[in-house]
Structure 1
Amino acid sequence: MDAFDQIANNPAAPELVGVRFRDNNNNIEEGHGEGVYREFLVSLCNEAFAAEYGMFCQTETGDVYPNPFSYETTGDPQHLRRITFLGAMVGRSLRDGVLLDVPFAPHFRNAILGRSNSINNLKSFDKQLYRHIISLRSLSEEEIEGLSLTFTYTVNVLGDVREVELLRGGRDIPVTRRNCLNYIHLVASFKLNHESARQTKAFLEGLGMIVDLSSLKLFDSNELMKLFGGDADGAIDVADWRRHTQYHSADDEESAPVHYFWQVVESMSQDERKKLLKFTTSMPRPPLLGFQFLSPPFKVHVVWGTSEERLPSASTCFSTLKLPPYKDVEAARRKIKAAIEETDEFAFS
């Protein structure tokens, strides 16, 4: 992770706003400013929180939580420092209003809020384990004894099987019908509160460098996720977008190309609108409280005198769409959709 190597020692540094990208040939790209900074945070988190990177895992539903075996998975002696760094980057995103498409697992959100998890949280984390241990309550004394369970939990770390005591001397305490409820709660607590405790602590250390952790406790788990990533579906309100759009000139606002542009946007699917927003601002989701909080404000600049055969381009640093003077709505539709589908990087003109 190049970003870690460059700024891990001071992830709160204000000069990070001046981040620049290099292409595959190590040449510095033209873009700079807020748009590039936002793209940096979004791209970094999309990559670093992926299960393939080894620092975090995903539940069956795709929710993200710290990998309790981050060292064993990556072999990186700095694994906890990297997780601390990621916590700081999430903190910067939260502070600077950059919404992330990283769905943190409910039990991890509770940990961020300083709240303990219980058996009720296990179902969303691991349905199979939840069903298995809950089923113990319906077994007879003889059936439970036949399982030969003790107050331990077995984990498999890349083929290395380890037995963890759920309480002191747990290896010598058999699970019975009388104590199985305590066993169930201890298993849930181990999986949700203790197994990833070191990694969670490292993440919170980084997050706390940027934001006041106590202030987050004002929110519940769902509200916290909304702070990090906006509404769950990230739906874009075209009327709100249009209402808070600026134009290069008054003539642009009333021009035919601009009217065609909004007709195209209104006919788009939500997925296409997100691609268009990302194309122009580097963020696929609107600000949490609407487009009035987008900084810099979204702007449309009709580039008069250019060929209508050109695709639109964007200056994400300034949230500006540069729109050729298309002569009809179908031409605008073809070119705009081609631009957002084919362009994965910044487009400058």
Structure 2
Amino acid sequence: MKRDATGRVLNDNIQSGSCSSARYVGSSSPKSLQFFVRYSGGNTQVIHANTDDAVEYVHEKITKKTKIPVAEQGYYSIQKDAQLQLVARLRSTKHPKAWQLVNKLVSAIGSLCRGEYRGANTIVVDDVKLFIKMSSLYIATAVGHNQVFVDGGAAAALVMLFVSPITGNKECAQEAIQLFLPPLNSATIESLSHSAPIILEFCQLLYSKTSQDNQLYISCLNTLGEILAITVIRNVGSEHAKGTVANLGLSAFASELGGKVIKGLESYDVRNFIAFFYPLCKIIENGELGEMGLLPICLTDLLNCYNVERSKLHVVFLEMLGKIIECLKTMEISVGKSRGKTDSFRTQQGQYLCILKTLYTLSKLYEGAEENVLFVLRSRKVALNTLILDSRRSDNHRWILEHKDLTTSESRRHLTMMLLPEVKGDGHLFEMLIDREQLLAESFEYISKANVKDLRYGRLFMEFKNEVATGHGVLRGWFCAVCQAICNPQNALYLACPDDKRRFFPNPASDVNTLHLNYFHFCGRVIALSLVYKVQIGILLDRTFFLQLAGKTVSLEDVRDADPLFYSSCKKILEMDTDLLDSDALGLTFFSEIEKLGSRTIVELLPEGSSIALNSKNRVEYVNLLIQHRFVTSVSHQVKKFAQGFSEILGSTDLLAFFFRSLEHEDLDWMLHGSDKAICVEDWKAHTEYNGCKRTDNHIIWFWKIVEGMSDEQRRVLLFFWTSVKYLPVEGFGGLQSRLYIYNKSHNSYEQLPSARTCFYRLCLPRYKSEAITQKSLLIITQEHLSCSFGMG
């Protein structure tokens, strides 16, 4: 038994069996001791003793109370700060071999602690190995065996051995304890959940006996956290997972670690706290600790409001929320003053995001708490978005995307990009050799038939036939070219919005191409890959297309760009005078006409729709059905195939709608197309460095003067020649993956044209003798039909 802060006796939930255990509990009197002895059937007896009583006297009192003979009561020592002091078992107890081995182990450890038998260190390690082997042979008895190890005092004895000052004892204990830290990649869920109580016992004992930075303690703590993540988070509801957390008293441990986080929010590693926190929350959410649903927040009497587990976590929640508010305030001030981000600042940011996620998760357990957390985040959006922009791919911050009002466009784009796979520098090469004259057909063959794993985890490498250029620059150029080809009206796959020819939506008549659905699948893969490789491809998805990918409903206002005439007609119907509409002046019924290859097909919007006249009462339904048919039903197969291709690169069909819902439509525009602003020459200069020349050289001065005099389209062609980037990110040149370079080689002929290494953003500019010669050379390469011919990749 043990006591909580109020002095009440709390149940340890130790598995009952034909055994008894005695735990020492201090009392208010300095000379008074109490032993709570529990034995067969769950019965408990209280034994009173004094600190100067002999051990034999305590044995006799236990015999008198429990009828257990003194000869069957074993012990190794009694210390005031030890939890498990006496262990007794009956000959009829379960797992007698386990008890026998544990008693032998405890006895050997006692010899080592007393310095009596130096050879016992080998016995200790061998006995631990034997015990682990015994427990692992039969899963059905593993729980009982492990409980014997704890109840028999072996865990406590090993920790006492670890802190023993006698030479060699610490090393022996460390070797033995580490045997209980299993290789997680090869262990079963059952074996992990069964080993959790022993490792928790080590954690608690080591924490009370050593410092919190002790490496053995940290190893045990980390292992226990990983075990809990595996057995609880991934297997909530399974028989092996149930009780793993509920019976371990983790709330006290999580509260203790939470207190450390609160005291050292910037410096304490929050991962240890999280390792215990999330499994505990999962158990609470699933009702395995009793009460279900949200509970009211009571600030005056937490223990009377709800169970102990929730009350302890609630105290941590309140204190941690108050501390993080102050930290975010301080951070906003420091962000405004700081010119750069130090390593310590980045570490601090990572800590803050983890803590905010923890608070958000915990807030869902208490009525009204979630809104409190969201209110804090809304009031500290500057700090939150600063944290987001410096977050790493390894972090899971999907919870933030569920609340788009907390984020800026830049933050949303950053978080959704991390949902996509990362290009690995050492990934397997997926090579393509494509003829420019057969760009779309050959690209389709490569991408549509590729194993999705090669696209997700490999690296795209391509070159055009009869061209020497290779590398990332050529790949960027290919993305732009193939996406433009996909949307070419001649291929009948997409329709362009009348007032914005960059914006496209699926063509309802795309089935004129027998392979049209395969091409939509191919297109989904290509556009997802363009996002993975961070290439602005120069095309946009219409809002009706975007909303369907996000799993949202398309309304009248959403179709304005796709078909302005259709939009105008529907608006007139909705706004038309009631009497005029009811007079059947329009002569409309619930059907629609589809034109394909010059022929018209009638489609009824409702059963027998051609006989249902449009009137003022059904006009809203009529317009909604028209929209549904025109922009959803008629292209549902095309959208489904596109979504399938996109999902394959994303890695999950379930993640697709979340990906698009996490973005505003304008966010996706900037990701696919980049900035609409004219190219700023000053920004260009600021992000350009020089090799073999200086910015003050004549030919460099002439170069920038000529660029300043170019049209925006000429600048884009020059930029494309230089980098294979025609559309800048919304952040401008600062959003590119590298700075730009102008370099000069001494052997370059003055008569040569500039050349580029687009892969490295390098422009080789000869030292021309005059501004006129410089201008003539640049004029040649800014002719768009020549801009792809000089790059070297």
Provide the TM-score with structure 1 as the length reference.
0.88
Aligned residues of 2:722 and 2:756 also touching (Cα < 8 A): yes
Structure 2 residue aligned with 1:100 = 537
Q: CA deviation at 1:254?
A: 4.4
Q: In terms of mean alpha carbon deviation, does 215-224 or 94-103 score higher?
A: 215-224
- Distance across 1 between alignment mates of 2:704 and 2:474: 25
Structure 1 residue aligned with 2:702 = 260
Higher Rg: 2
Q: CA deviation at 1:208?
A: 2.0
Structure 2 residue aligned with 1:291 = 733
- Distance across 2 between alignment mates of 1:118 and 1:298: 44
User: 5+ residue gaps in structure 2?
Assistant: 1-440
- Distance across 2 between alignment mates of 1:111 and 1:142: 32
Change (3 A) 1:144 1:2: farther
Structure 1 residue aligned with 2:669 = 225
Question: Identity over aligned residues, as a percent?
Answer: 26
Match for 1:4: what amino acid?
F
Aligned residues of 1:112 and 1:204 also touching (Cα < 8 A): yes
Q: Deviations over 1:30-81 (max 9, x none)?
A: 1111001111111000111111111111221223111112112x2x2x3112
SS in 1 for 2:727: coil
Structure 2 residue aligned with 1:241 = 684
Q: CA deviation at 1:85?
A: 0.9
- Residues 1-349 of structure 1: pairs in structure 2 closer than 5 A: 1-10=441-450, 12=455, 17-22=460-465, 27=466, 29-61=467-499, 62=501, 63-72=503-512, 74=513, 76=514, 78-137=515-574, 138=576, 140=579, 144-211=583-650, 213=656, 214-233=658-677, 235-249=678-692, 251-341=693-783, 343-348=786-791
Aligned residues of 2:483 and 2:537 also touching (Cα < 8 A): yes
Change (3 A) 1:307 1:219: same
Aligned residues of 2:477 and 2:724 also touching (Cα < 8 A): yes
Match for 2:670: what amino acid?
K
Q: CA deviation at 1:310?
A: 2.2
Aligned residues of 2:723 and 2:762 also touching (Cα < 8 A): yes
Match for 2:526: what amino acid?
M
SS in 2 for 1:287: coil
Q: CA deviation at 1:118?
A: 0.8
- Distance across 2 between alignment mates of 1:69 and 1:206: 20
Match for 2:462: what amino acid?
V
- Distance across 1 between alignment mates of 2:758 and 2:610: 59
- Distance across 2 between alignment mates of 1:145 and 1:253: 74
SS in 2 for 1:124: coil
- Distance across 2 between alignment mates of 1:305 and 1:253: 20
Change (3 A) 1:291 1:131: closer
Change (3 A) 1:330 1:121: same
Match for 2:519: what amino acid?
R
SS in 1 for 2:764: strand
Match for 1:327: what amino acid?
K
Match for 1:131: what amino acid?
S
- Distance across 2 between alignment mates of 1:176 and 1:208: 43
- Distance across 2 between alignment mates of 1:142 and 1:332: 68
By relative contact order (CA 8 Å, sep 6+), the higher-ranking structure is: 1
Aligned residues of 2:722 and 2:791 also touching (Cα < 8 A): no
Change (3 A) 1:124 1:58: same
- Distance across 1 between alignment mates of 2:597 and 2:459: 37
Q: Deviations over 1:176-197 (max 9, x none)?
A: 2321222122212222222212
Match for 1:163: what amino acid?
I
- Distance across 2 between alignment mates of 1:16 and 1:156: 43
Aligned residues of 1:153 and 1:163 also touching (Cα < 8 A): yes
Change (3 A) 1:285 1:141: closer
User: 5+ residue gaps in structure 1?
Assistant: none
Provide the TM-score with structure 2 as the length reference.
0.41
Q: In terms of mean alpha carbon deviation, does 163-172 or 330-339 score higher?
A: 163-172
Change (3 A) 1:348 1:93: closer
Q: CA deviation at 1:165?
A: 2.2
Q: Deviations over 1:177-223 (max 9, x none)?
A: 32122212221222222221211121122222223532332221122
Change (3 A) 1:142 1:119: closer
Q: CA deviation at 1:15?
A: 5.0
SS in 2 for 1:288: coil
Q: CA deviation at 1:151?
A: 1.4
Q: In terms of mean alpha carbon deviation, does 93-102 or 6-15 score higher?
A: 6-15
Aligned residues of 1:85 and 1:206 also touching (Cα < 8 A): yes
Aligned residues of 1:109 and 1:225 also touching (Cα < 8 A): no
Aligned residues of 2:582 and 2:615 also touching (Cα < 8 A): no
- Distance across 2 between alignment mates of 1:166 and 1:290: 47
Q: In terms of mean alpha carbon deviation, does 153-162 or 34-43 score higher?
A: 153-162
Q: Deviations over 1:286-309 (max 9, x none)?
A: 233332342353221123343323
Aligned residues of 1:299 and 1:319 also touching (Cα < 8 A): yes
Structure 1 residue aligned with 2:417 = none
SS in 2 for 1:208: helix
Match for 1:64: what amino acid?
F
Aligned residues of 1:141 and 1:176 also touching (Cα < 8 A): no
Q: CA deviation at 1:20?
A: 1.2
RMSD of the alignment, in Å? 2.3
- Distance across 2 between alignment mates of 1:216 and 1:148: 40
Q: Count residues with an aligned counterpart.
A: 339
SS in 2 for 1:32: coil
SS in 1 for 2:584: helix
Change (3 A) 1:299 1:146: same
Q: Deviations over 1:295-334 (max 9, x none)?
A: 3532211233433232212222222211110123332222
Q: CA deviation at 1:237?
A: 2.3
